[in-house]
């Protein structure tokens, strides 16, 4: 287990577009494992590789305890509805904003075995999928927030 350093808002790397994973190497598998440990240690429900300084299209999400979703090269292929709720980011600890996101999201991604899969999530999971996919394009939740939440 290795805990990685999480970059904070203001770090220029967080604004970069991540590159697709072309081959699932042992290095990518270690990255997934370390990202999972780092996300859990920080008590977050999602983490993108760029947040730990790796510009690859990789993210992990855990909105239901024990159910980690690993996303390699994720792409949102469908969405529906709308939700407004509080959103934060491990790169901006202690701060929250209200954002508008789709209520249901379907994402297509590759798993650690190289197999393509699709997941449809609602509410918090839909929000997390959007949030992590945005990170891979250098977007942050503060770009889409309607207002900040006073701590
Ligand atoms: Zn984030």
What pLDDT is recorded for position 1? 72
> Which domains does the chain show, CATH number per domain?
12-149 (3.90.45.10)
Beta-strand relationship, 46-48 and 83-87 = unpaired
Q: Which of 51, 31, 42 is closest to 131 using CA atoms?
A: 51
Q: How far is the CA of 41 from the centre of ligand 1 (A)?
A: 15
Contact predicate 132/140, CB 8 Å:
no
Question: Locate tokens 């379907």: which residue?
Answer: 106
Q: How far is the CA of 44 from the centre of ligand 1 (A)?
A: 9
Helix (H, G, I), strand (E, B) or coil at 64: strand
What pLDDT is recorded for position 149? 86
Q: How far is the CA of 50 from the centre of ligand 1 (A)?
A: 10
Query: How many whole angstroms separate alpha carbon 93 and alpha carbon 105?
Result: 25
**Mean pLDDT confidence for 137-141:** 98
Assess whether 132 carries a catalytic annotation.
yes
Q: Which of 16, 3, 110, 4 is closest to 55 using CA atoms?
A: 16
Q: Which of 128, 91, 69 is closest to 14 using CA atoms?
A: 91
pLDDT tens figures, 126-138:
999 999 999 999 9
pLDDT tens figures, 17-30:
999 999 999 999 99
Both tokens of residue 133?
Answer: 């996919």
Q: How far is the CA of 82 from the centre of ligand 1 (A)?
A: 20
Both tokens of residue 50?
Answer: 């760029």
Confidence of residue 150 (pLDDT cuts 50, 70, 90): confident
Confidence of residue 51 (pLDDT cuts 50, 70, 90): very high
């Amino acid at each position: 287990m290795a805990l990685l350093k999480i970059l904070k808002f203001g770090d220029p790397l967080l604004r970069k577009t991540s590159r697709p994973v072309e081959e699932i190497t042992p290095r990518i598998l270690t990255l997934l494992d370390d990202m999972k440990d780092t996300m859990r240690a920080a008590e977050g429900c999602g983490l993108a590789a760029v947040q730990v300084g790796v510009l690859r299209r990789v993210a992990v999400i855990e909105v239901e305890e024990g159910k980690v979703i690993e996303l390699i090269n994720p792409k949102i292929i469908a969405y529906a509805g709308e939700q407004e709720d509080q959103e934060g980011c491990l790169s901006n600890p202690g701060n929250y904003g209200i954002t508008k996101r789709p209520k249901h999201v379907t994402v297509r991604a590759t798993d650690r075995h190289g197999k393509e899969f699709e997941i449809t999530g609602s509410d918090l999971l839909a929000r997390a999928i959007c949030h992590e996919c945005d990170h891979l394009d250098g977007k942050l939740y503060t770009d889409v927030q309607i207002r900040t939440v006073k701590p």
